[in-house]
């Protein structure tokens, strides 16, 4: 997502010639544009500087042995949404039909208490491999 940085202040002076007769006063106009809030990267890390609450810490469910779709659903129901799926055979295949794959390993391991925004990798292989 890109953010547009706005100019801090734009001062406009209006000078009209030939309008309203000779000697008509023309007021100067000043327009002030509000500044956007600093980005999280600019403000620093943590809730004190970003205004965002810290992620809740929860215990990771055990999804090893489940089909990939069921494992993803279980993780999301527990509050974990930063999920990455990998081919556990090392062939780098994409899991297009998640129900065709069985989870062989998860990282971090089940039972660990971690922040809900922690990335979780689910390693899976096709059934029968």
pLDDT along the chain (129 residues), means of 10: 39 43 61 59 52 86 97 96 96 92 97 96 95
**Segments of the chain assigned E as strands:** 9-12, 29-32, 57-59, 83-87, 101-107, 113-115, 120-126
* 94 to 67, 74, 85, 119, 122: CA distances (angstroms): 15, 20, 8, 18, 12
Q: Which two tokens stand for residue 102?
A: 């069985």
List of domains in the chain: 9-50 (no CATH), 57-126 (3.30.10.20)
Residue 31's pLDDT is what?
Answer: 61
Contacts 24+ apart (CB under 8 A), 9-14: 9/33
pTM: predicted TM-score of the whole model, two decimal places? 0.60
Residue 38's pLDDT is what?
Answer: 55
């Amino acid at each position: 997502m890109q953010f547009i940085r706005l100019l801090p202040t734009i001062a406009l002076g209006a000078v009209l010639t030939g309008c309203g007769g000779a000697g008509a006063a023309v007021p100067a106009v000043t327009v002030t544009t509000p500044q956007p809030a600093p980005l999280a990267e600019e403000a620093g890390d943590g809730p004190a500087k970003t205004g965002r609450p810290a992620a809740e810490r929860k215990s990771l469910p055990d999804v090893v042995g489940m089909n990939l779709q069921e494992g993803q659903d279980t993780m999301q129901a527990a509050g974990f949404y930063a999920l990455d799926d990998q081919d556990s055979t090392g062939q780098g295949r994409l899991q297009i039909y998640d129900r065709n794959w069985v989870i062989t390993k998860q990282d971090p391991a089940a039972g660990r208490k971690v922040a809900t925004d922690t990335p979780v990798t689910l390693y899976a292989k096709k059934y029968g491999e």
